[in-house]
Amino acid sequence: VDADTPSACVVEREASTYSGNRGDAPNLRGPKRSKPDASSISQEEPQGGATPVGNRESLGQAGINPVHSPGPAGTGSQPVGQEAKELLLFACGVCSKRYMCNSKLVIHKRSHTGERPFQCNVCERCFMQLSDLRVHQRIHTGEKPYTCDVCHKRFNRRFSLKCHKRSHTGEKPYKCKECKKVFTYRKNLNEHKLIHSGEKPYQCSKCSRAFRRPETLKYHQKTHPETTAPRECEG
């Protein structure tokens, strides 16, 4: 063996000596790779699907747009005008009024035909809808299921209770377009409109006078004497 060539045991002893001190151990894996600088990182492709913050084009490609991001579901605009009218599928062939349900259209058509298939078994009055008949029958039964929570007055119709509550709140939702006068009930507004139109639909059957309100006509009719006086007994 050549004297200048170290034996296998000497090499093994030196390796064990280096392993005891890792700080001084030589790099047996070859030279270390130098870390790329910041400029080289920005030019590299993103790893693992990550999107670089500074690349705005990649944000658009990923479908993320912070300026024009879609709002929450259900906040779309409601159809108005012609679009809303097209949603009403069932149209009346007489007046072209439209409805969403065929059942409502059937009830509406009775206003043109005059059909009233629901009859009261007490007074034989007829109605276009079953719900109207049921409300009417409360007149005969005396049922008043709707109570005012202020004065505890009772009513047989929900709408009557709603109108009555205006006497406590002072609400006057009906306004005349001509003189801007407001009213509590629609009936009062309709009677007031006759002042502007000059119409007097309630005419006395005993004279030529006419009136705007039925109450005024009834009061006027009391001023007429009876047309047929009682006959005196003969003999």
Each residue's pLDDT expressed in tens, for the chain with a length of 235 residues: 444 444 444 444 444 444 444 444 444 454 555 555 544 444 444 444 443 444 444 334 433 333 333 444 444 445 555 555 556 788 999 998 899 899 999 999 999 999 999 999 999 899 999 999 999 999 999 999 999 999 999 999 999 999 999 999 999 999 999 999 999 999 899 989 999 999 999 999 889 899 988 889 999 999 988 754 445 544 4
Structure-block tokens of residue 224: 């007429």
DSSP 222: T
Identify the architecture of domain 95-170 in CATH.
2-Layer Sandwich (3.30)
Strands 126-127 and 146-147, by their bridges, are unpaired
Domain ranges in the chain are 95-170, 172-221
List, in order, residues 6 or more apart from 128 with CB less than 8 Å away. 107, 110, 111, 115, 116, 117, 118
CA 152, CA 207: separation in Å to the nearest integer?
44
What was the pLDDT predicted at 49?
A: 41
What was the pLDDT predicted at 155?
A: 95
What was the pLDDT predicted at 88?
A: 72
Does this chain's domain 95-170 share its CATH topology with 172-221? yes
Structure-block tokens of residue 38: 């910041």
What was the pLDDT predicted at 69?
A: 38
Strands 210-211 and 174-175, by their bridges, are unpaired
Q: Residue type at 33?
A: R
Q: Is 223 left (phi over 0), alpha (psi -120 to 50) or beta?
A: alpha
- pTM value? 0.46
CA 149, CA 182: separation in Å to the nearest integer?
25
According to CATH, the topology of domain 172-221 is: Double Stranded RNA Binding Domain (3.30.160)
